[in-house]
Chains A and B, each alone.
Chain A
Amino acid sequence: MDNSSEMILRVAGLQSLIDLLRAQAWVVVGPTVRDGAIVHAPIESVDQLPRGIGDLQDGGSYRLRQRGDEALFGYSVGPQGWKSLLFPSRELLWSGQRDGADVAVEPAVVDPPRLALLGVRSCDLHAIAIHDRVLTERAVPDAAYAARRDNIFVVAVTCSDPGGTCFCVSMGTGPVPDRGFDLALTELLDPAGHRFLVVPGTARGAQVLDELRALAADEAAMPADEPDRLAARDVGAQAALRMGRALDVDGIRDLLYANTEHPQWEDVASRCLACTNCTLVCPTCFCTSVDDVGDLTGSTTERWRVWDSCFNTDFSYLHGGSVRSSVSSRYRQWATHKLASWVDQFGTSGCVGCGRCITWCPAAIDITAEVAAIRSRED
């Protein structure tokens, strides 16, 4: 894209963007504050965004704080990724009607909503790209995911204030959105005023900007100039220097494969509660199970797909017992899958460095620290 289509939006211009997307029949889903956390919800107004709110994240801890400024995107990722919108935690696969001995099976109808996702961070863009690979580029793709995925408009945002558990720089996934968006915003809060540099990533995004230009008041949406671009670049560059965590990924696949029997796995097992939080908050975890439910008369049955976790004992159950009965083997499976076997399976890491698994672990277990411990005491 040549940069003539880039624009500067004031807060009123951001409101015009939301209005325009809504007028184009998109349901705009963006960050809001609820129960002391940043969560995604349908929004209509910039007033619903978390103005002046930041966050403090560390192993096992998450708190919102007042930033003392007007920033609308001045926090990092909250507990929810976008996963549950594209890949619901519970989804009907099919239903069957019994008629005598016969059973008629009907696939579930997927009628995906048109969602405009506002404020998607770079790590989460990469997570969506990973899910595209895992769920759609397969011999038997997940058609419901693909249908939902085809019905989203993505407005990304550059991270300006990374969280204490972020390590996207180590994973090469952030903090500046590099792909997978229709529009990308960078929030600027300097003496030149509160504004957003907005860059199109697709023809569809550029089209929206053209319409916005025609629609918004002159002072709310303006052409971007060079100082704006430099300021925006600086936001990303500064953020990259303030990662809360780091992970040395050099040779990590071979490192973990070679240390299948490292004593650190037992060490982490003495702390891990096998609560499954890390897998539920992880934007790339995709494991599921199925529940068959029937009514009392046995005339209808349904099969539901539900999120599952490799930390559950039942996950690897075979007649006679679970393959991974020890917690150490389950943590090892999770970490090795994220960082090593995922590479063999899908050609990328399964971790985007969003830090959620660290923040939301009740035992403050930190995948970056566990891997560092293995690296420092290699067998």
Chain B
Amino acid sequence: MVPRPFRLVGRRQDTTDTFTVLLEPTEGDPLGFVPGQFTMLSAFGVGEVPVSVSGAAHVAGPLQHTVRDVGAVTHALSRASVGDVLGVRGPYGTGWDVAHGHGKDVVFVAGGIGLAPLRPAVLEVLSHRDRYRRVVVLYGTRSPDDLLFADSLADWQGQGVELLVTVDYGPPSWAGRVGLVTTLIPRAGFDPKYTLAFVCGPEVMMRRSAMALVERGVTPDSIRVSLERNMRCGVGLCGHCQFRELFICVDGPVLSYARVAGLLGYREV
């Protein structure tokens, strides 16, 4: 339950409210993790929040977290500068297990900051591009100004990713699509019978996306979602993240849609 001190070795402002921190342990080994896992990140004296790892798992380098400044702790994290020390516990939780998609089409559906937890999974797929058939990334965000990882996105396209982007609100200068990310699902090029899909974003967006994928013919057990709940410990002891019988921090955050589709249908579970 004790955080390890990690030093901020790099920082990037991704959008007006979202930033990426690069962290290295002040001593000891770097943090090993699998794509989809999260850590409990502390701003000392302020608090601790769960944040998914947003960097690649298969290459050495600093631990990366991409965080949206939405409240007290994330704001304190946003104010940390290079040289400062943050606390890290983990990694915790289940991963995306992208390797289950070998030989299949893999489809990533991201809403907003949800692209950050998916990024390590996309990077893993791209590091073994030949093991997968089509790779599709569907990304919806509020406005063109909120697009994350713009450079990486272009890069991914260069590596054979079909990328479709849509925004909720586009200014007149925006030539791209406007609409919900779910509208991209019917038009993306993948074979629903041989597809493994990974969905991350706000809960309504994940539910609607999963339903659209099912509509298109993907079976619920071939869809993975990453659920978000309040978390205070990350190891199933604090009780906050319970989703009926599931501890989202231990049994999740990545779960099969088949496992949670019924529960997601009830209000306020």
Contacts from A to B (Cβ < 8 Å): 93-94, 96, 98, 101-105, 107, 134-135, 138-140, 142, 257, 260-261, 286-290, 292-294, 298, 301, 303, 305, 308, 310, 315-319, 323-326, 329, 333, 336-337, 340-341, 344-345
Contacts and interface: CB of A to CB of B under 8 A. Distances in A.
Interface string B229-255: 110110111111010110100100000
B239 A102 contact: no
29 contacts: A101-B7, A102-B5, A103-B5, A103-B85, A104-B5, A105-B3, A105-B5, A107-B2, A139-B235, A140-B1, A140-B236, A142-B237, A286-B239, A289-B240, A290-B47, A290-B238, A292-B44, A294-B45, A298-B45, A303-B48, A310-B239, A316-B229, A316-B240, A317-B230, A319-B70, A323-B230, A324-B268, A341-B242, A344-B245
Contact of B83 (A101, A289, A340): A101
Please report whether the interface of chain B is mostly helix, strand, loop or mixed according to DSSP.
loop
B2 A316 contact: no
A138 B2 CA distance: 17
Given A319-B71, A326-B268, A292 B238 contact: no
B229 A103 contact: no
A94 B267 CA distance: 37
Contacts of A308: 232, 238-240
Contacts of A319: 70-71
Interface string B1-34: 1111101000000000000000000100000000
Nearest to A143: B1
A301 B45 contact: yes
Contact of A135 (B3, B5, B237): B237
A140 B235 contact: yes
Interface in B35-91: 42, 44-48, 70-71, 83-85, 87
Nearest to A295: B45
Given A140-B237, A292-B47, 13 more contacts: A94-B2, A96-B87, A101-B85, A102-B5, A139-B236, A292-B48, A294-B46, A303-B48, A308-B239, A315-B240, A318-B228, A329-B268, A337-B242
Contacts of B242: 333, 337, 341
Contacts of B7: 101
A139 B250 contact: yes
A323 B85 contact: no
Question: Which of A101, A138, A142, A288: most chain B CB closer than 10 A?
Answer: A101
B70 A345 contact: no
A191 to B, nearest CB: 51
B237 A323 contact: no
A140 B234 CA distance: 10
A344 B259 CA distance: 14
A79 B84 CA distance: 47
Which 10 residue pairs are nearest across A and B when measured between Cβ atoms? Answer: A287-B239, A294-B45, A329-B268, A344-B245, A140-B235, A341-B245, A301-B45, A319-B70, A94-B2, A107-B2
Interface of B: 1-5, 7, 26, 42, 44-48, 70-71, 83-85, 87, 228-230, 232-233, 235-240, 242, 244-245, 247, 250, 266-269
A286 B240 CA distance: 10
Q: Which of B235, B239, B250, B266 has the most chain A CB atoms closer than 10 A to its own CB?
A: B239
Contacts of A101: 7, 83-85
B44 A288 contact: no
Contacts of B45: 292-294, 298, 301
Q: Give the residue among B83, B233, B242 with the most A Cβ atoms within 10 A.
A: B242
B266 A261 contact: yes
Contacts of B48: 290, 292, 303
A181 B141 CA distance: 59
Nearest to A324: B268
Given A261-B266, A341-B244, A345-B245, A98 B44 contact: yes
B43 to A, nearest CB: 9
Which of B236, B237, B238 has the most chain A CB atoms closer than 10 A to its own CB?
Answer: B237
Contacts of A337: 242
B269 A260 contact: yes
Contacts of B269: 260, 323, 329, 333
B232 A289 contact: yes
A245 to B, nearest CB: 26
A135 B237 CA distance: 7
A56 B87 CA distance: 51
A66 B4 CA distance: 57
Contacts of A261: 266
Contacts of A105: 2-5, 87
Nearest to B80: A101
Contacts of A294: 44-46
A110 B269 CA distance: 36
Contacts of A301: 44-45
Contacts of B83: 101
B242 to A, nearest CB: 7
Contacts of A344: 245
